[in-house]
Homo-oligomer: A and B are copies of this chain.
């Protein structure tokens, strides 16, 4: 962290807060770009309208996400690192090696300049750890009361270095569902801050890049049918989306799903079902039976709680998918898509 505690490069006596002019295309915007963004993100060339890149492959993955999380800082992360992890993970879920990100800031007039600086440094730290470069960006400022501090959009480009088709349509009956770690920490960490809840131990978000695990699975030659990270809507929504796209039934064993005791307790207090709580460093992998031992071994190197949690049991006869769950007491129930809003602005 020490490299990322530099003093703010914008003169705070003059500009303690973000002004509308910081997004106006003039001197102040240039100062923000040239003194804060470009050196921190290690921009190689003078700013231009777009960046030229020479990709080592013509087969790429492309994705985008906006981040509007509230609060901006939370145990285990902040909007800056989250904006890197979320987009890197979306690329990894296509089996791509994440390489380049864009960063679009929508700042609210009056934002503390030092707060922006903390977020920018956190982004760069997360980008370095994830092995990606922030290569192009944009800054807009909206009037006070028309935004909420900081919104960040990142778009990402990754390259695909293998011939596998990792997508819902590749899911087949017999595939095992692997989960990369324990569930629910990101959502609970956010809710605890928002609601002012104090648990015995602080629950930290799981926000992290999962690209290393995915790339190691691919490098080891594991056959992967589908990957999906468990963000908004949690495990239940991810399973339902894939079941619906692949037109299959997925059966999950509840007691196989790793869940920390403190998270389970918090879910009970808050009235949440952990299956629907958002994560920012967890994913599921659909792996044909032959590869499961090898895949699980790799995932456990990164998180000992990685587990096989279910199976693709059948093709569905109608055009819908189905997700069922065997509960701790042996009863089977349908796990539906989340209706309505459980946790707004969780990412």
Contact = CB atoms under 8 A, between A and B. Distances in A.
A153 interface: yes
A35 to B, nearest CB: 14
Sort chain A's interface into a size bin.
Answer: 35 or more
Contact of A49 (B23, B94, B146): B94
Given A28-B339, A94-B50, A102 B64 contact: yes
Contacts of A90: 49-50
A52 B60 contact: yes
A192 B61 CA distance: 42
A66 B138 contact: yes
Contact of A343 (B24, B47, B65, B168): B24
Interface string A105-141: 1100000000000000000000000000001111011
Given A46-B169, A56-B58, A148-B146, A27 B91 contact: no
B24 A344 contact: yes
Interface in A218-257: 227-229, 231-234, 237, 241, 245
A30 interface: yes
A267 interface: no
Contact of A24 (B48, B100, B142, B233): B233
A260 interface: no
A140 B21 CA distance: 26
A339 B147 CA distance: 24
A339 to B, nearest CB: 5
B25 A338 contact: yes
Interface stretch (A155-163, A195-203, A298-306): A155-163
A103 interface: yes
A290 interface: no
A340 interface: yes
A62 B102 contact: yes
A234 B90 CA distance: 36
A145 interface: yes
Q: Pick the most buried of A67, A104, A141, A145: most chain B CB atoms within 10 A of its CB.
A: A104
Interface string A253-274: 0000000000000000000000
A49 B20 contact: no
Contacts of A158: 50
A20 B96 contact: no
A48 B244 CA distance: 12
A102 B345 CA distance: 21
B147 A337 contact: no
A292 interface: no
A104 B65 contact: yes
Contacts of A48: 93-94, 167-168
Interface of A: 19-21, 23-30, 45-68, 89-91, 93-94, 96, 100, 102-106, 135-138, 140-143, 145-148, 151, 153, 155-158, 160, 167-169, 227-229, 231-234, 237, 241, 245, 278, 337-345
